[in-house]
Structure 1
């Protein structure tokens, strides 16, 4: 078994799930790190009609820095916007209709904190995937943790290092394959084959 330290993401990319669900990994989720901007902690990438589309959760800038204390802003109705974007992107995919009632539960939530929202999202995704991966939360921030550290492994700015096979995506005929989008993309397009696909990803660690 390997101990791994994972950040908590909003509808995480496929590569994150390949680490999270690896049977060899004992997962600890990071709740004390200083919140880094422009990362998957507050954004997710889906496949829109014009290519990659980033959905970003707005944050309350209240001076707090630890990820567990970061508050979500509800000044704009981003939940409605995000859900509409997801529905528009995937309603013609093979499996969206099958999972729609479970997906929408996430956007009925109104959590105060980003960490809690993301963790509830993970719970819903595990229900969809029919997985029961156990994990723990860390108890303090450690700069150089004993666990395999994935806090900076998943970048929104550079291509994913994880090797994954191409699969059919809703707009791939027009725009080509987009690698390592949100797990939603894989679930909507591969359905029950999602877990098999994840297990076959070549991990870069």
Structure 2
């Protein structure tokens, strides 16, 4: 993933299900963050049959920040839509996410269609790319304040997830991933997915809010009901 000689191994803060584990949510944080904060957010809306995995991105130099090393799923060269993208890094990060899905299947006997993948900002970009290119059917996709990477050369979406429900959320005052970029992403996703919903949050910046998390909870409850 770009200049990554100093990459450190990814770890996964995890909230275990408090009853029999029959479903999983895998959620990726944004640039410079860790999974711990999001794990805490999901703890507030957790259901006992669901395990929540919020991996920590490896540490690597990020061009956008002058090569400073920070937790990052791939290199970001600029915020302008015309900025070059780290195609190799995006694909490797997506593969890492798909490996977590496979591990849930093989080690915990959780079928892929009982797994939600999602993320915030940069993590959401990885989740979208991963979900739309895997041949494993998923339960759902969550994209918060994010965008579709490599959209100009995006491969045909995998047939396995053309009907998978997706919830995409974005704040109207986002200074990092603009609301317009979110709406453009939604327009592209609607051409790929049959069950895509886009929700806007007035005055919300590059963050999340209580109403958004309530909507996320409703979405999770709908696609990952207790078995």
Whether the TM-score (by the shorter chain) exceeds 0.5 is no
Greater RCO between the two (CA within 8 Å, min separation 6)? 1
- TM-score if structure 1 supplies the norm length? 0.31
